[in-house]
Amino acid sequence: MTSQASLWRDFVCGVSKIGKVTCFGSNGKVVGKEPSWNCSAVSAGFNHACAISLENGSLHCWGDMKGEKPQEKFTSLALGENRSCALRTNGTVVCWGENNFSLPVALQDTFS
């Protein structure tokens, strides 16, 4: 039974009630590469997925992610085509992706 799920064009990932991440579909860059530890959330992007560790709130991303993943603690995330965003534990949002994608300066370090 899944407690949270996210899908993209050719795959879907879900988190069970105990935190196990499982992905299904035809995207070999994502399916079968899920983290082995328990997670609180998962999100699917174009050719990548990310999950938040249940134990410490850190991000684990796999597949063909663009940009540099932040090394902070998070509560939720949203992934798209070649870009990703996550909500920090302090309520601010950080984004990363292709061509050094980030939030516009006016929105950086603002609270959700």
In a domain, 48, yes or no: yes
In a domain, 13, yes or no: yes
pTM (two decimals): 0.87
In a domain, 112, yes or no: no
In a domain, 7, yes or no: yes
Helix/strand/coil (H/E/C) assignment for every residue in 39-91: EEEEEECCCEEEEEECCCCCEEEEECCCCCCCCCCEEEEEECCCEEEEEECCC
Whole domain around residue 69: which residue ranges? 2-107
Q: Give the model's confidence band at 5: pLDDT under 50 very low, under 70 low, under 90 confident, else very high.
A: confident
What pLDDT digit, counting tens, does each position of 71-110 carry?
A: 999 999 999 998 999 999 998 889 999 988 877 777 666 6
In a domain, 92, yes or no: yes
CATH number of domain containing 95: 2.130.10.30
Domain count, the chain: 1
In a domain, 10, yes or no: yes
